[in-house]
Structure 1
Amino acid sequence: MVQAGDKSNVKSKNQEAYRAIKEMILERHLFPGQKLVYRDLEQRLGMSKTPIINGLMMLENEHLVVSEKNRGYHIRYVNRREAEYIYDLREKLEDIAIEYAIANHDKRDLALLKRKLVAYRKYRNDTFNQKRLALDVDFHVQIAGMGKNPFFVQMVRQYYESVHFMFKAVFLTPSPDRFDRFKDEHERLYGAIKSKDLEAARRIGREHIRGARELLIKLIPE
């Protein structure tokens, strides 16, 4: 008979494996298309095969890994068409986030958005690296948070986590002109939210998302 403590320990190990592998994916220690070898993961994580497989099953539900019969798991690769679908969704999420933010934000929310805007603006590296991506995500997640809907914020965070690895295609890609435009769009989006101009904020948000989509899509193979 399996004791309650044993069940709890098994669940904890599964969660530990899930979080560890997910972090490896998001931190680029595992790459899109890479086959996952159980023995390698066992050695790297110091775990047995069972919690690793359970962790991978959880990651498959989040579409970060893919399993094939008799071939095991590999890191999911996003092709150009899938990236286009993902950015269509991002544009719609941004529309909703902006609407919620304008309707519900307070002065503290706006002050925090301003700090995240300044942090992005001050970052001087002219490549699309991990730091730049994190600063951009922080800015947009803050807009979602200003809507005071925790379920929506959770959805937006999960969206960014699920597609984080997709940006590997543009990491270390110089694009100073595009980044200057991103900074300008962030500034204008902040101003439109501050003045509660929903129409202008949505227009700027869509322009911003479509620019990011253009940067990424052209670097992903068909």
Structure 2
Amino acid sequence: MEKKRKKKKKSKDDFTQEAYMGIRRMFFLNEIIPGQKISYGDLAKRLEMSTTPVIQALKRLEYQGLVRHEPNRGYYTENISLKEIMEIYEFRELIETSLLPKTISQIDKKGLKILKKALDCHLDAVRDIYLKERLLKDMEFHLALATLSGCTIQINTLKSLFDLLYLKYRGNILFVTPMDTVDSEHTKLYEYIADSNLDGAVGILKQHISNVKEHAIISIERINKEKSIKTI
């Protein structure tokens, strides 16, 4: 009889990665919100593990700008920042538009098929009331487009920006741009790329990111105003 393979014992890094992914999921599902004090003991119970990998995961999230550590007080999630979200969208525009020339110059039928699939998934998702599905499919469309450029450093930087956006800021902040507008802009972007129309693609991508940024800013300003009224 063939001997049963021994189950590989998890390393410290495995547990830290598991804790990290678990806490990320809590951020994405709004189980952890901006400005909240984080109890790593509570997180450890929810994740059913010791506090050591949880603390290591929080240190990693601190490096990403999602949490901060205050000596003798513990960990806190970072507050919503209007300045930060403006900078994120401005940086996104710089990166994404800079990748378009390379993408358009080298995209083939396979690449167009990948991009079209990402577009179709997004168009299907935006009809759904489940807002987080929209967030994921929007991100996947933009990352699919960036990935087709083959520029690894810019792609990884863009992934980090999406992490900061979608883990820290709630869907009702980011997705306040009218659905039809987003649908139309994504569809036009695909069509310009399929037609190798660089000027058209750059123009519609800039317009799209600018529109989303503008609506996100309005949403954050409204939230800040409501908070200030409550504290009076």
TM interval, shorter chain, is: 0.7 to 0.9
Q: Could you tell me whether the CA contact under 8 Å between 1:128 and 1:171 is conserved in 2?
A: no
User: Deviations for 1:157-177, whole angstroms, at most 9, x for unmatched residues?
Assistant: 2221122134416269776xx
Pair 116,145 (structure 1): closer, same or farther in 2 beyond 3 Å: same
User: Deviations for 1:145-190, whole angstroms, at most 9, x for unmatched residues?
Assistant: 1112333322222221122134416269776xx2111111111111
Task: Answer yes or no: is 1:24 the counterpart of 2:26.
Answer: yes
Task: Report the secondary structure of 1:219's partner residue.
Answer: helix
Task: Answer yes or no: is 1:196 the counterpart of 2:196.
Answer: yes
Distance in 1 (CA, whole Å) between partners of 2:121 and 2:96 is: 20
Distance in 1 (CA, whole Å) between partners of 2:170 and 2:102 is: 31
How do residues 11-50 of structure 1 correspond to structure 2 at under 5 angstroms?
11-50=13-52
Partner of 2:150: 148
Q: TM-score, normalised by structure 2?
A: 0.83
Q: Could you tell me whether the CA contact under 8 Å between 2:80 and 2:169 is conserved in 1?
A: no
Q: Which runs of 4+ in 1 moved over 3 A?
A: 122-128, 171-175
Q: TM-score, normalised by structure 1?
A: 0.86
Where does the alignment leave 5 or more consecutive residues of structure 1 unmatched?
1-7
Q: Could you tell me whether the CA contact under 8 Å between 1:17 and 1:51 is conserved in 2?
A: yes
Q: Could you tell me whether the CA contact under 8 Å between 1:128 and 1:170 is conserved in 2?
A: no
Task: Report the secondary structure of 1:140's partner residue.
Answer: helix
Pair 174,214 (structure 1): closer, same or farther in 2 beyond 3 Å: closer
Give the superposition deviation at 1:22. 1.8
Give the superposition deviation at 1:14. 2.1
Give the superposition deviation at 1:139. 1.0
Distance in 2 (CA, whole Å) between partners of 1:108 and 1:77 is: 42
Q: How many residues align?
A: 213
Q: Could you tell me whether the CA contact under 8 Å between 1:169 and 1:216 is conserved in 2?
A: no
Q: Could you tell me whether the CA contact under 8 Å between 2:175 and 2:216 is conserved in 1?
A: no
Partner of 2:161: 159
1:64 is matched with which residue: 63, 66, 73? Answer: 66
Letter in 2 for 1:104: Q
Letter in 2 for 1:88: E
Distance in 2 (CA, whole Å) between partners of 1:9 and 1:187 is: 45
User: Deviations for 1:55-111, whole angstroms, at most 9, x for unmatched residues?
Assistant: 111111111111112221112222112111111111112112322311221111101
Partner of 2:115: 113
1:89 is matched with which residue: 78, 88, 91? Answer: 91
Letter in 2 for 1:76: E
Pair 54,173 (structure 1): closer, same or farther in 2 beyond 3 Å: closer
Give the superposition deviation at 1:127. 5.9
Pair 166,52 (structure 1): closer, same or farther in 2 beyond 3 Å: closer
Q: Could you tell me whether the CA contact under 8 Å between 1:169 and 1:220 is conserved in 2?
A: no
Q: Which moved more, 1:116-125 or 1:156-165?
A: 116-125
Pair 128,220 (structure 1): closer, same or farther in 2 beyond 3 Å: farther
